[in-house]
Amino acid sequence: MELKTASIQGVKLNYYYICKRKLWLFAKGISMEHNSDRVLSGKVIHENSYPRMKKREVLIDGLVKLDIVDGDYIREVKISSKMSKADRMQLLYYLYYLKEKGVEKKGLINYVKERRVEEIELTEDDELEIEKAVKGIEQVLQLKSPPEVINARICKKCAYYLFCYVEEED
Amino acid sequence: MNRDYYIFSNGRLKRKDNTIYFIDSGNNKRALPVEQVDKIHFFGEVDFNSNLLSYLPRFGVMLNVYNYYGYYSGTYYPRKKNVSGFLVVNQAVYYNDYNKRIALARSFVESSIYHILRNLRRHKEVTEEIIDKIEKEKANITKANKIAELMGVEGRVRKWYYRGFNCILREEFILKGRNRRPPRDPVNALISFGNSLMYTAVLGEMYKTQLDPTISFLHEPSTKRFSLSLDIAEIFKPLIIDAVIFKLINNRVIKEEDFDIEEEICFLNEEGKKKFIEEYETKMATTIKHRKLKRKTSYKMFIRLECYKLIKHFIGDEVYKPLKAWW
């Protein structure tokens, strides 16, 4: 079966919903995640959650990295539910991607620290939204320079904060 | 923040299981917390094994080696994980277009001179005349339309500036002019040693970004040095190193006995280097509340921020304005 969507990494879908500037920078290799304590803490949580699950960190086509595959479900581990829309879309994209490959699954998002699990199923509306988002991502990545800073509350915790906001006054 | 470690003793650095140890010649063993190490600087003679060298990159640790005189010899640095071909191509475009290149070169000189004047103004009762000369010379930055002319401006400013050192420093420490390779008097030895540290500090911060350290603007990209590191160091030498030197001398921390002179070569001895590094590390860790970021920002972080601003310039996001210390 041929894929309808362009092949993109799942994290790009996540960033698309959080900040288009972050998406652009990340896609151009200008990443900041390596010097963020928050990202490190996420990594530790990933590595230490669900140690008994056998299929952890499954990488498909070098693009889609599933945290956990557990029977009919794929699970995504997140620190907090603050970015729930972006996290949901990322997982939905994985479901979509698998579906195009002929594998139908359901999804679970595990908010580890909140001890909460959310179940997700891919609907037709979701599929349309994902297709739209993938097109949107391609448009962002075609820009010659990065989209503007979004000046949002979430910026303060972002690994790109210093990068985006550093500036000299005269 | 990850720390820098300085090792003066001779010995061996090795990995045993997942810990790294330094074992000195007297067989004293000391563990280094690898996850909290940024760079390790070696001033003595140290053996390494490949087991260690293949382990360190996981933590992004850099090893800097200095020779007997405290001169920088080289760096062992981890395989670069965060690369951006896109950025490198754009950085090169700014080198290749002479107008773009000189605009950046001007920024570096401008900021350097700004910080030089800032140092002199703190002693303005005795440096007034020199400040005047430098102010006049400064006007030539915008007129210069060749890199060589810009280097000329910089050279003349430095000449005046170093004359100013004699007004600022306690009288036992006289600078008769800059000499290097080898330095012949204590002040030159301090400047040389400080510049070595500055170079590795800038390189260390730049390494945490995607900038390519070989594509530079004021200094000619060379095959011997990471010349972008030299460009950025121009900004920070007066701001960090010279401030350290003034403090060490004028507060009588560094004394004549902290230098060894052998056949006209003057260099800091071990005690002297330790004093310098202590003051330098204190300075690097000092924080200023950044007026834009509204966060406590260390001098060390200011170096990284300079890298970020350059990246933003190269990707067409925001025009680079060099740091001009406002505090």
User: Is residue B321, in this structure, part of any structural domain at all?
Assistant: no
Q: How many domains does chain B have?
A: 2
More confident residue, A19 or B74: A19
Q: Residue A1: what pLDDT?
A: 43
Residue A18 has pLDDT above 90, yes or no: yes
Average pLDDT for runs of 10 along chain B of length 327: 87 88 89 88 90 87 87 83 90 95 95 95 86 91 91 93 88 76 86 93 93 92 82 96 95 90 86 94 95 94 97 96 94
Of B74, B311, B322, B54, the residue nearest B200 (C-alpha): B74
pLDDT digit string, tens, across residues A70-126:
778 888 887 777 667 888 898 899 899 888 888 888 888 888 888 888 888 899 999
Helix orientation angle between B186-207 and B227-236, rounded to the nearest 10 degrees: 120
User: Domain containing B45 — which CATH number?
Assistant: 3.100.10.20
Do B43 and B158 lie in one domain? The reply is no
Nearest Cα residue in chain B from A145 = B316
Do B44 and B155 lie in one domain? The reply is no
pLDDT digit string, tens, across residues B232-291:
999 999 999 999 999 999 998 998 899 988 888 888 999 999 999 999 999 999 999 999
Note down the domain range covering B101: 85-315
Nearest-angstrom CA–CA distance, B253 and B55: 38
Nearest Cα residue in chain A from B319 = A167
User: Is residue B276, in this structure, part of any structural domain at all?
Assistant: yes
pLDDT digit string, tens, across residues A55-67:
667 777 777 777 7
Taking CB atoms and an 8 Å cutoff, what residues of chain A touch B292?
Answer: 165-169
User: Is residue B323, in this structure, part of any structural domain at all?
Assistant: no
Nearest-angstrom CA–CA distance, B246 and B118: 13
Interchain CB distance below 8 Å, A168 and B324:
yes
**Which sign does the torsion angle of CA B78, B82, B83, B88 carry?**
negative
- Cβ-Cβ contacts under 8 Å for B296 (sequence gap 6 or more): B287, B288, B289, B290
Do B154 and B91 lie in one domain? The reply is yes
Residue type, A170: D
Nearest Cα residue in chain B from A33 = B82
Do B58 and B126 lie in one domain? The reply is no
Q: Which residues of B are annotated as a binding site for Mn(2+)?
A: 154, 219, 234
Q: Residue A83: what pLDDT?
A: 67
Q: Residue A51: what pLDDT?
A: 67
Nearest-angstrom CA–CA distance, B313 and B124: 35
Please tell me the CATH code under which domain A5-165 is placed: 3.90.320
Taking CB atoms and an 8 Å cutoff, what residues of chain A touch B87?
Answer: 28-30
Question: Quick check: A24 and A147 in contact, CB under 8 A?
Answer: yes
**How many beta-carbon pairs below 8 A join chains A and B?**
63
Tell me whether A37 touches chain B (CB under 8 Å): no
Point out the residue among B84, B292, B293 whose CB comes nearest to the CB of A30: B84
Q: How close does chain B come to A170, measured CA to CA in Å?
A: 9
Q: Strands A73-78, A64-70: parallel, antiparallel or unpaired by DSSP?
A: antiparallel
Instruction: Please say which residue of B37, B56, B76 terminates a domain.
Output: B76
Do B26 and B165 lie in one domain? The reply is no
